[in-house]
Amino acid sequence: MDQISSPMDERTVRGLRLGETVFLSGEIVTARDAAHVRALSAADGPKELNGATLFHCGPIMTIEKEGRKVIAAGPTTSARMNGTAADMIRRYGIRAVIGKGGMSSTVLDAMRETGCVYLAAVGGTAVSLAERIINVNGVLWPDLGPAEAAWILEAENFGPLTVAMDAAGNSMYDNVKRTVDRTRPYS
Amino acid sequence: MRYTVMIKVPEPLEDVIVNLLRLANTKLPEDVGWALEAAAAWETNETAYAQLGGMMENVRKAEFKGVPMCQDTGIPVFYVTGRMDASVEDGIRKGLRKATDTIPLRPNTVHPLTRLNSGDNLGDGMPLIRYVPTDDDLEITVLPKGAGAENMSRTAMLDPADGIDGIKKFVTDAVLDAGGRLCPPTVVGVGIGGTADSCTSMAKEALLRPLDHVNPAADERALEDELFMTLNSCGLGPMGLGGNTTVLRVHVRTAYCHTASLPVAVNLNCWAARRATVRIKRDGTAEYRQ
In degrees, rounded to 5, the angle at the alpha carbon of residue A108 between the alpha carbons of residues A107 and A111 is 90
B224 three-state secondary structure: helix
Residue A87 clears pLDDT 90, i.e. is over it:
yes
CB atoms inside a 10 Å sphere around CB B224 = 20
Burial class, A41, CB count within 10 angstroms (exposed 0-12 / middle 13-18 / buried 19+): exposed
Give the count of Cβ contacts less than 8 A between chain A and B.
161
Percent of chain A past pLDDT 70, that is, above it, reads 99
Query: What is the distance between the alpha carbons of residues B99 and B19, in angstroms, rounded to a whole number?
Result: 8
Chain A residues in contact with B147 by the CB 8 A cut-off are: 77
Which residues fall within 8 angstroms of residue B261, CB to CB, at 6 or more apart? Answer: B157, B160, B195
Query: What is the distance between the alpha carbons of residues B159 and B78, in angstroms, rounded to a whole number?
Result: 32
Among B55, B63, B58, B21, which Cα is nearest to B35's?
A: B55
Q: Is A36 a catalytic site residue? A: yes
DSSP string covering A83-139, please?
Answer: HHHHHHHHHHT--EEEEBS---HHHHHHHHHHT-EEEEEPTT-HHHHHHTEEEEEEE
Among B33, B105, B97, which Cα is nearest to B67's?
A: B105
Q: Do B234 and A179 touch (CB under 8 A)?
A: yes
Q: Do A162 and B172 touch (CB under 8 A)?
A: no
Topology adopted by domain A2-183:
fumarase (3.20.130)
Say if B234 is an interface residue toward chain A (CB within 8 Å).
yes
Q: Which of A124, A176, A183 sits opposite B240 (nearest CB)?
A: A176
Q: Where are the domains of chain A?
A: 2-183
Backbone phi, then psi, for B150, in 5-degree steps?
-65, -35
Q: Which of B68, B69, B240 sits opposite A102 (nearest CB)?
A: B240
What's the pLDDT score for residue A136? 95
Query: What is the distance between the alpha carbons of residues A171 and A102, in angstroms, rounded to a whole number?
Result: 8
The one-letter amino acid code at A36 reads H
Say if B150 is an interface residue toward chain A (CB within 8 Å).
no
Q: Are A120 and A99 in contact (CB under 8 A)?
A: yes
DSSP class of residue B215?
Answer: P
Say if A168 is an interface residue toward chain B (CB within 8 Å).
no
CB atoms inside a 10 Å sphere around CB B7 = 10
The one-letter amino acid code at B206 reads A
Query: What is the distance between the alpha carbons of residues A159 and A119, in angstroms, rounded to a whole number?
Result: 9
Among B273, B209, B274, which Cα is nearest to B22's?
A: B274
User: Is the peptide bond between B104 and the residue preceding it cis, with omega within 30 degrees of 0?
Assistant: yes
Query: What tens-digit pLDDT sequence spans chain B (290 residues)?
Result: 555 677 777 899 999 999 999 999 999 999 999 999 999 998 989 999 999 999 999 999 999 999 999 999 999 999 999 999 999 999 999 999 999 999 999 999 999 999 999 999 999 999 999 999 999 999 999 999 999 999 999 999 999 999 999 999 999 999 999 999 999 999 999 999 999 999 999 999 999 999 999 999 999 999 999 999 999 999 999 999 999 999 999 999 999 999 999 999 999 999 999 999 999 998 889 999 99
What is the complex's ipTM, to 2 decimals? 0.92
Q: Are B227 and B171 in contact (CB under 8 A)?
A: yes
Q: Where are the domains of chain B?
A: 4-28+69-146+274-289, 148-269
Query: What is the distance between the alpha carbons of residues A130 and B51, in angstroms, rounded to a whole number?
Result: 17
Return the CATH number of B148-269, one of 3.30.1330, 1.20.1730, 3.30.160, 3.40.1760: 3.30.1330
Question: CA dihedral defined by B209, B37, B186, B229, rounded to 10 degrees?
Answer: -90
What's the pLDDT score for residue B95? 98
Q: Do B70 and A176 touch (CB under 8 A)?
A: no
Query: What is the distance between the alpha carbons of residues B286 and B7, in angstroms, rounded to a whole number?
Result: 6
- 3-class SS letters over A43-99: CCCCHHHCCCEEECCCCEEEEECCEEEEEECCCCEHHHHHHHHHHHHHHHCCCEEEE
Among B55, B71, B105, pick the best mutation site for testing chain A contact (most A Cβ within 10 A).
B71
Say if B111 is an interface residue toward chain A (CB within 8 Å).
no
CA B1 to the chain's CA centroid: 17
Q: Do A173 and B147 touch (CB under 8 A)?
A: no
Q: How many C-alpha atoms does B113 have within 13 Å on its Cβ side?
A: 1
What's the pLDDT score for residue B9? 78
Query: What is the distance between the alpha carbons of residues A131 and B235, in angstroms, rounded to a whole number?
Result: 31
Query: What is the distance between the alpha carbons of residues B41 and A141, in angstroms, rounded to a whole number?
Result: 45
Residue A12 clears pLDDT 60, i.e. is over it:
yes
pTM of the predicted model as reported, rounded to 2 decimal places: 0.94
Question: CA dihedral defined by A14, A19, A22, A24, rounded to 10 degrees?
Answer: 60
Q: How far is CA A5 from each of CA A12, A70, A155, B240, rounded to the nearest angstrom?
A: 9, 20, 9, 26
The one-letter amino acid code at B14 reads E
Residue A64 clears pLDDT 90, i.e. is over it:
no
Query: What is the distance between the alpha carbons of residues B248 and B230, in angstroms, rounded to a whole number?
Result: 12
Confidence of residue A108 (pLDDT cuts 50, 70, 90): very high
Say if B37 is an interface residue toward chain A (CB within 8 Å).
no
Q: Are A165 and A108 in contact (CB under 8 A)?
A: yes
What's the pLDDT score for residue B2? 54
